[in-house]
Structure 1
Amino acid sequence: MTLIEFMRSLDAVSLEALAKRCDTSVGQLKQVAYNVRRANPALAIKLERESGREVTCEELRPDVDWAYLRNTATETKQSAA
């Protein structure tokens, strides 16, 4: 799901709460959703977490090698076990 689709599914109060949980503003979210600005990696991660993975890091920042990072996290957990 794209960020704009996800945002359209929220009412104004929920959208404001999402922005607050992501340490940003609704205006910033709109700029990212409409491709005026790119989400920085930290915001992409927060949006994935706070959307319950409805919006993914890969959708927001396809230029980042998220697969490598996700595999690294999995390997780290397995090594600790």
Structure 2
Amino acid sequence: MTTQLALQKAIATLGGQVKLADAIQTSQQNVSNWLRTGKVAPDKVILIEKVTGVSRHELRPDIYPPEESKHAA
């Protein structure tokens, strides 16, 4: 799953960009920017995971690699 797809899933879970932004105390413009760039702000990844259940591994695999990858290294 790409970061954009993971973020779209999180947005859909809460019912829109504004609702996700409100839930994690950021602006809708930030959420829109993350969708465009494919990079969620590192300080918001855990919050998004907590409020939507979308995994940090899906949202920022560059920072939070899947468990299998960590053990393979």
Same-fold call, TM > 0.5? yes
Give the number of equivalent residue pairs: 63
Q: Read off the aligned partner of 1:28 and give its amino acid letter.
A: N
- Quote the sequence identity (%): 24
Equivalence for 1:61: 60
TM-score (norm 1): 0.57
Please tell me whether the aligned partners of residues 21 and 31 of structure 2 are also in contact (alpha carbons under 8 angstroms): yes
Unaligned 5+ runs, structure 1: 69-81
Equivalence for 2:6: 2
Q: Read off the aligned partner of 2:25 and give its amino acid letter.
A: D
Across the aligned residues of Structure 1 and Structure 2, the Cα RMSD in angstroms comes to 2.6
Which structure exhibits the higher relative contact order, with contacts defined as CA atoms closer than 8 Å and separated by 6 or more residues? Answer: 2
Correspondence 1:1-81 to 2 at 5 A? 2-8=6-12, 10-12=14-16, 15-34=17-36, 36=37, 38-51=39-52, 53=53, 55-65=54-64
User: Secondary structure at 1:2's aligned position in 2?
Assistant: helix
Equivalence for 1:73: none
TM-score (norm 2): 0.61
CA distance in 2, matches of 1:45, 1:9: 16
